[in-house]
Structure 1
């Protein structure tokens, strides 16, 4: 979008966080459609986001993003992202988000719910990914 472009003619670095959220939410909707992720016992927050800007993104570039669950542990999960040019397939951006499950009362890290753990394990076994386009 025009408002995502900074004064240099390149997409602003701050836009990457929005792209990650769009793909992460799409991944959750596709893979956890039958799980109430808003239920208090399923409280998960993003603890860390790392973005690597591999190549600049110009306003006219069309990117395709991919997200996949890379790993999970007792209380946390990691999603990896990659954004490639739709035509050249050059990678322009890669990122990682780490999230943790929190106890809804104390807000300290807690074990992830068993049904989510089972689903993440199945996703990792099949290398399930979510894809989306960024105009």
Structure 2
């Protein structure tokens, strides 16, 4: 999984995570289930920051994750500070892709890289619909801007 440079990351959003003792499994490393929760926190915060008019909790903007891919590059342990970053990798007609990177701020190494694919659904039929126009327009304008 490729990690683009900061300048290639559309709608980048970051926050720090401090793994708690209850998030560490019997091996002494962070439980795999924690990563998915952190990804969701980052993705929802990114949507609120860059697309506040899209209410991610409303029925008419129903969006689901259809695929999650996680690469564990280095272990995460209790007491480490992890900087999580998310960004929009791609927007299609009815599909979106969001990338993630989790870096250990003490060791300055990449701990985890990940991505999620998803789609918006019609609230009545639960069938995929086009990504909201405002999201597609902003993504296209940002990624196709003339330097």
1:116 aligns with 2:135: yes
Per-residue CA deviations over 1:77-125 (Å, capped at 9, x if unaligned) read 0000000011332000000010111111111111122122223334545
1:12 aligns with 2:20: no
| TM-score after normalising by structure 1 | 0.85
Per-residue CA deviations over 1:12-71 (Å, capped at 9, x if unaligned) read 111111110111111111111233333433221111111111111111211101100000
| TM-score after normalising by structure 2 | 0.78
Determine which of 77, 87, 90 is the counterpart of 1:71.
90
Question: SS state of the match for residue 14, structure 1?
Answer: helix
CA RMSD of aligned residues (A): 1.7
1:96 aligns with 2:118: no
Unaligned runs of 5+ residues in structure 2 are 1-19
Answer whether contact 2:84 2:103 (CA < 8 A) is retained: yes
Runs of 4+ deviating beyond 6 Å: none
Unaligned runs of 5+ residues in structure 1 are 127-135
